Structure formats: C-alpha cells, structure tokens
Amino acid sequence: MNITKENLNDLHVQVNINIAPDDYLPKVEEAIKVYSKKLNMPGFRKGHVPLGMAKKMVGNEMLAEELNKLIGETLDNYIKEEKLQILGQPLPVEDIKKQQINIQTPSSYDFRFELGLVSDFQLPDLAAKEFLNYEVKPEEKTVLDEVEKLKVRYGTTEETDAIVKDSVLSIIFKELNEDESEKANGIETTRRISIESFRNEEIKNQIIGLKKGESIVIDLFKAYDNQEELIIHNILDISHDQAHGMNHTFKVTIDGIFEVKKTELNQDLYNRLFGEGIVNNEVELHEKIKEELSRSYKDASHQKLLNDISTYLIDNTTINFPENFLKKWILSYNEKPVTPEQVENEFGQFTRQLKWDLITERVSKENDIKIEGAELKAFAMQRLREHYFAGQVNEMVEQYLAQMADKMMTEEKSRRNYFNMLMEEKLFAELKKKANIQPREISYDEFIHLEGQHNHHHH
C-alpha cells in the first residue's frame, strides 16, 4: 500500500491511495470461502460448492466491499497520523466509480480524495469588549394595553358583515413567492387578530375594504413596520427556525369578521386566568401582568446578549477556508440538493455558520464541556415542564414527563435537538463568564428598536 499527498491550493490537498493485490487478496479469498460454505445450490451438497463458482458469483461484490472498508480505514488512519484538521468529509475524486474491478485478474487500484483543511485560528478576548445586558422595565401604558387585550380576549364575539375600526378578523396568511405564485411548503396559518394590529395605515385601509372570503396580497413586513419578532411570534405564531428563508409576500384572506363585546373585570375572571384567589383586584392584576411582561422581556434580552456575543466572536475571529473545496463539498454533501448558483449566493452565510461551528467546537474542547445521558434527560424534562405545565407539576405529571423524555431520547432527531440546546446553554454559560457584561436599563420601545437592526442567525 502506498499513500502520497499533494497540495492543490491553500488548505486544499489531495491524498492518493494505491492498493496492491497483497493488501486485499487474502481477506477477499477468505470471505469467498466463508460464503461458499453457506451456499445452497441445486446439484451440490450444502457447503460443497466449488470455490471457483462462488468466486464467479460474488467475488466482485466481496472485492468491492473489502476495498471500501480498506480505503475508509486507511484514510482515517492517515488523517490521524498526519494530525490533519479536516473540514467536512473527504471528497472522493470522481473517477473511482469508473475503475473496473475484477477478482479474476487482481491488480492494483488507485483511489484519490480531496481534503479541505482548517486553518489555525485565535479567539478574540471577550473581556476586552463591553456587552450590554438590557433590563427592560414594563411601562404603565403597556400594562393598561394588556388589560384591554384581556377584556377583549375573554369578551364575547359575534360575527358581522363589515369590518370596522375595532373588528377582530380571522385571517388566513399564506406565504407566496415573489411573483405572487403559491410557495411550495410555504408558511400557512390562520390567526385571529384585531384590525388595529396592522401598523401600516395604507395596508390597514385596504383590509378594511374587504368582505368575508375576499383576499389581497401584501408585503407582510411592510404591514408590521419590519418588526421581525412581532411578525414571527405574534402574527404568524411560528418559530425562528420555521421563519428561516421566509418571503415577505403574503396572501391575506378574510375568513371571518367579528365584533367584540369586552368582558368585565371581576373575581370570576381573575380566578379563571390565574387560579383561585391569586389575584383579587385590579392592582394585583397589574402586578401580575408586570411580572409576566418582565419575564418575557428578560428572555428576549438574554437572547439578544447571546446573539451579540456570538456575532462578536464570528466577526472577530479570522479563519481561512479552502473556498474551492468547500463549494465542491457543499454540492456533494448538502442535505437538500443545491445548485452552484445557490452555493455562490449563500457561501458567505455558509462560512459564517461553519465559523461558528468551529468556534463552538474549540470553546467546548478548551472548557471540557460534556453532556451525560442522565443530564440530557433531566434537561429535556425541564424544558417540557416549562413549556407545557408552566413549571407547575405534581407526581403524576412528573411520571408522564419522565416517560415522554425517555421516548424522546430514543428518537434520533429530538435527542439531537435537545443535545444541541443543552450544548448551547453550557457553551454560553462559559462565554458569559469570560465576557465583560454590563447591565443597562432601557425602555421597551428602545429595546425593540435595537432588535429591529439585529439579524438573527444560527438558532
């Protein structure tokens, strides 16, 4: 066996593996022998089929299998011995497929692979940069708005014909392509929202003119002043992942028009909302709403801090990439088929993500971040607890949660999902220790403005 390496470009090498008959014949002959003993063929006693016949039948298959195994192991060992830091997977140079293998005339074979290498890189010092941890205080006006929303939400609705200033509409939002044709597997959601929620006057007036069953095409981001968070979470009620790559063109269909009679604030309503006797008057109601607003502001502010830290790390870490190799590699290995044009267009985004992956790998190695099985299950249970039971649980629910978590741990996809979430949590815990984080009080409007300028990546 003979291995040679040549440089194709910066951080881009080709490894040639030459495999001689001595390297594979003994194993292949052995495999054929074992196979012939199991063969059932008319006219022969079991296990007495001549070797030559068995070789004709399965020899090439056995040879291909052995070569595959041999190449895989050889390449892995070579990468380990040479301490090569590789990107992605090795790319077989196409013509391997064309080699005619023939067990009857053993010869030597050449296999070639292209490898992309990772340049060495330094992480920036997080302590040298000031990161702001925003404390957003709920304002009186917001609290009063929330109270009005509650009255509406628990009020009674009657269907009417015409849209007026404070109508509630049931709207079907359907994502379109830029040319207004229907987008395949696009976002489609039916939501009840008030006509008041539309921020853009011109679009709001267009909608006021519609009757039940009618629809118009709008730019959803224009309709809501480009408030991405609001559009994703409140209007469409989807996750950031689902919103990834979303178009701005939507068809809006009026599914129903309702008039709302607001409910009275009374003990009955408080009990229904918060449980027996927890809120007993309007002052306590305001306190409760403040508490809930603070919690959601805190989450949003924490998310922003994490985004700021990761953006800083990505922008201030220099990692060189073998571009030609990477483009080839994306074309071969991408989960969804992509075209060379798409690879060109999204290459910047792709290398950003790759950079982030390399940075997180480095941070978790340096800080020895590990995840045990039991820890992962506990984390999944905690997440489910918060999500479905708002943290309130009894013994029966606990047992149910444990079963649910066990089931999730057996499913590759959800297991990986929780693993990544926990990994991210531990990773950011380490990064936050190293960063210079300063508290800063800010109003909600200012905060939303900051968010607006901010693009969400990698989540």
In the chain, where are the structural domains located? 2-117, 126-130+291-452, 156-261
Burial class (CB in 10 A: 0-12, 13-18, 19+), 367: middle
Give pLDDT, residue 36: 85
Q: What is the DSSP letter of 454?
A: -
Give pLDDT, residue 241: 82
For residue 317, the SS3 value is coil
Query: What is 126-130+291-452's CATH topology?
Result: Trigger factor, domain 2 (1.10.3120)
Structure tokens that stand for 406 in this block: 């066990």
Give pLDDT, residue 2: 92
Indicate the pTM of the whole model.
Answer: 0.69
Give pLDDT, residue 436: 96
Residue 143 has a CB neighbour count (10 Å cut-off) of: 16
Q: Which of 458, 117, 121, 88 minimizes the C-alpha distance to 319? A: 121
Query: What is 2-117's CATH topology?
Result: Alpha-Beta Plaits (3.30.70)
Give the residues of the chain that fall short of pLDDT 50: 455-459
Identical fold for domains 126-130+291-452 and 156-261, yes or no, is no
Give pLDDT, residue 437: 97
Q: What is the DSSP letter of 14?
A: E
Structure tokens that stand for 253 in this block: 């269909």
Which class in CATH covers the domain with range 156-261?
A: alpha beta
